[in-house]
């Protein structure tokens, strides 16, 4: 088995480097899309729904799906489907309720919701508590990705001596990845984020549609895909398909689902995406697209990890240096089944899965700090409102600062043992308590302006008590979720028994409630120039990816891999050329 696992070669390095150069180049090119601060943070509210939808989908997961999720699937079998397709139900709720609510709110930044529905003090309070964990989360994303990326690229034991400091291969990988993120985020804004996200979706799809059939064909020992499926059904461990993990831990699965409903409807990046499209109809299309993709694609990611349980029964022998060898199951399949060059595409897909989440975080955090902090402070101190150019420059500076902090947190995490575990628990402390008032604030507008702070603070304190005073060590995640949601929701509804006394707050909340009842319809207009340019950019990049894939068919590989590679290459080229033709037809260029 070890003999069939390939090492990366120059072709894979070239593919990964080309991918990083593409991301940087797109960001620099899209600088011209950003004439106003609305363009930088909202795409001008003119983003096509399918671009915003694909961007939202790939922003909702990281390399976790191909690493930790693959490991969970490898060990637990069919029950993984319930966990990793659950985002489908979160987006479905968005389709019926929250896509409409977010778009009708007519926000310039996602946290402006807090100012409109509650108070400016609520926005400041949430900003203070939201940004540190978000930065840490982005750093953890970079760190998790680069552990596997540096190992796969053969940089695990490599060192760079700069004369001032010696950097490990992992640290160099994190720095390079972080710099690429900073370039296309600070230059391209939300347009840069979303267009690169579409490209990252394409790379992930190509990798997925190759690994899925090849894994089962390998399992079939030359007798075909169906034979591989039959072998999995007959040789998988006992109980692999009977949802035993669900029966053993029902509370965990329920808590996970509750967290999904909150995260995929009240998270700030979700609100930013719904605001980026022209109308509530487009926002609902976005949610429906994300729901469908969140059900279908995880099945294609989970199935190969299940096949690996039979094909690679001794992962610990293959990866003795890993604490959780099962987490390398998806990557191992890539190294076994794909030719060199296409392995580089897999590494790029892992890169794409994480960078899409990090770039989204950078952009929405910058929008919050510019719109909800910088502008408000200027107004509070009776200073003139900054011009569009000044706001745009401030947005780019903030992206650079936040990105630098995320890179720094990634470097700190890999040096400080135990920070990773602390950060995971940190999220379960904060997210349920703080985002529950956001979800409820959209559908119930009769609570006073201080209700969000009161309910979130109560939830946070009780979750803290669950961790310090009581012993829920074996069910800590579930306790944090359920206590945070229940306590926050209870105080939120109880606060409605106290009447709002501030006349301005009464008027503001009443006006906001009226906004939520007023449909957000698209204005009648021709094709927006940025929208049309986005078709051209995506078309050219898709065609370029297709050409690279076609060139990679010259690399020796199995006939099945070559055919899949050729199909992916020519399909990408055809789709790219079709989009360029569509652009030229609409613009007359």
C-alpha distances out from residue 333 to 73, 200, 212, 315, Å? 14, 20, 10, 11
Residue 191 Ramachandran class (φ > 0 left, ψ -120 to 50 alpha, else beta):
alpha
Beta bridge partners of 167: 160
- pLDDT at residue 420, as a whole number: 46
Note whether 351 and 149 are within 8 A (CB): yes
- How far is Cα 43 from Cα 277, in angstroms, rounded to an integer? 8
Please give the structure tokens belonging to residue 222: 């030359």
- How far is Cα 259 from Cα 464, in angstroms, rounded to an integer? 18
Beta bridge partners of 168: 159
- pLDDT at residue 42, as a whole number: 60
- pLDDT at residue 64, as a whole number: 66
- How far is Cα 500 from Cα 272, in angstroms, rounded to an integer? 29
Q: What is the dihedral of CA 38, 39, 45, 49, to 10 degrees?
A: -150
% of the chain surpassing 90 pLDDT: 31
Indicate the pTM of the whole model. Answer: 0.85
Q: 516-544, pLDDT tens digit by residue?
A: 999 998 764 445 666 778 888 888 988 98
**587 contacts: CB under 8 Å, gap ≥ 6:** 527, 532
Residues of the chain with pLDDT under 70: 1-4, 33-34, 36-45, 62-64, 148, 151-154, 156-157, 184-185, 187-190, 321-323, 352-354, 356, 414-426, 523-530, 588-589
Please give the structure tokens belonging to residue 564: 């899949």
From the list 146, 140, 149, the residue with the least C-alpha distance to 421 is 140
Q: What is the DSSP string of 336-389?
A: HHSPTTHHHHHHHHHHHHHHHHHHHHHHHHHHHIIIIIIHHHHHHTTPPPPPHH
- pLDDT at residue 418, as a whole number: 47
């Amino acid at each position: 088995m070890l003999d069939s696992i390939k090492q990366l070669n120059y072709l894979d390095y070239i593919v990964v480097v080309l991918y990083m150069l593409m991301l940087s180049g797109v960001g620099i090119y899209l600088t011209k899309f950003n004439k106003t601060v609305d363009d930088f943070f909202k795409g001008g509210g003119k983003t096509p729904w399918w671009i915003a939808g694909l961007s939202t989908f790939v922003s909702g997961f990281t390399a976790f799906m191909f690493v930790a999720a693959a490991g969970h699937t490898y060990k637990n079998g069919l029950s993984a489907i319930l966990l990793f397709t659950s985002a489908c139900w979160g987006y479905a709720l968005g389709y019926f309720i929250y896509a409409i609510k977010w778009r009708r709110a007519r926000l310039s930044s996602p946290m402006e919701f807090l100012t409109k529905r509650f108070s400016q003090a609520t926005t400041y309070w949430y900003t203070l508590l939201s940004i540190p964990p978000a930065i840490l989360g982005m750093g953890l994303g970079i760190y998790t990705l680069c552990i596997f990326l540096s190992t796969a690229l053969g940089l695990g034991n490599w060192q760079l001596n700069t004369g001032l400091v010696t950097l490990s291969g992992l640290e160099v990988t994190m720095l390079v990845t972080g710099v690429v993120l900073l370039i296309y985020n600070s230059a391209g804004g939300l347009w840069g984020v979303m267009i690169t996200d579409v490209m990252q979706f394409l790379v992930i799809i190509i990798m997925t549609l190759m690994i899925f059939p090849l894994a089962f064909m390998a399992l079939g020992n030359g007798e075909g895909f169906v034979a591989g499926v039959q072998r999995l059904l007959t040789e998988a461990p006992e109980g692999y398909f009977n949802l035993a993990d669900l029966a053993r831990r029902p509370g965990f699965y329920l808590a996970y689902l509750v967290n999904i409903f909150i995260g995929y409807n009240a998270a700030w990046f979700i609100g930013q995406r719904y605001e980026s499209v022209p109308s509530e109809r487009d926002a609902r299309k976005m949610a429906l697209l994300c729901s469908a993709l969140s059900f279908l694609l995880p099945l294609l990611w989970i199935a190969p990890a299940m096949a690996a349980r039979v094909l690679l029964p001794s992962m610990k022998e293959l990866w003795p240096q890993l604490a959780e060898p099962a987490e390398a199951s998806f990557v191992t399949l890539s190294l076994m089944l794909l030719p060199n060059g296409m392995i580089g595409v897999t590494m790029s897909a892992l890169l794409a899965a994480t960078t899409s989440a990090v770039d989204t975080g950078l952009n929405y955090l910058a929008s919050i700090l510019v719109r909800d902090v910088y502008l408000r402070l200027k107004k509070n101190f009776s200073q003139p409102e900054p011009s569009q150019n000044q706001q745009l420059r401030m947005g780019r500076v903030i992206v650079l600062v936040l990105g630098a902090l995320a890179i720094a947190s990634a470097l700190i995490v890999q040096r400080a043992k135990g920070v990773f575990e602390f950060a995971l628990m940190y999220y379960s402390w904060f997210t349920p308590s703080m985002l529950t008032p956001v979800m409820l604030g959209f559908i119930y507008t009769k609570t006073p302006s201080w209700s969000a702070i009161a309910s979130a603070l109560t939830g946070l304190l009780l979750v803290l008590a669950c961790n310090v005073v009581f012993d829920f060590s074996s069910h800590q995640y579930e306790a944090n979720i359920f206590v945070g949601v229940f306590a926050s929701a209870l105080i939120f509804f109880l606060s409605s028994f106290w009447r709002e006394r501030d006349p301005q707050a009464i008027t503001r909340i009443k006006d906001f409630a009226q906004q939520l009842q007023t449909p957000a319809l698209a204005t009648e207009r021709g094709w927006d120039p940025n929208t049309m340019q986005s078709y051209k950019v995506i078309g050219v990049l898709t065609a370029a990816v297709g050409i690279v894939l076609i060139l990679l068919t010259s690399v020796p590989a199995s006939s099945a891999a070559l055919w899949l590679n050729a199909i992916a290459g020519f399909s990408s080229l055809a789709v790219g050329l079709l989009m360029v033709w569509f652009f030229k037809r609409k613009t007359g260029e």
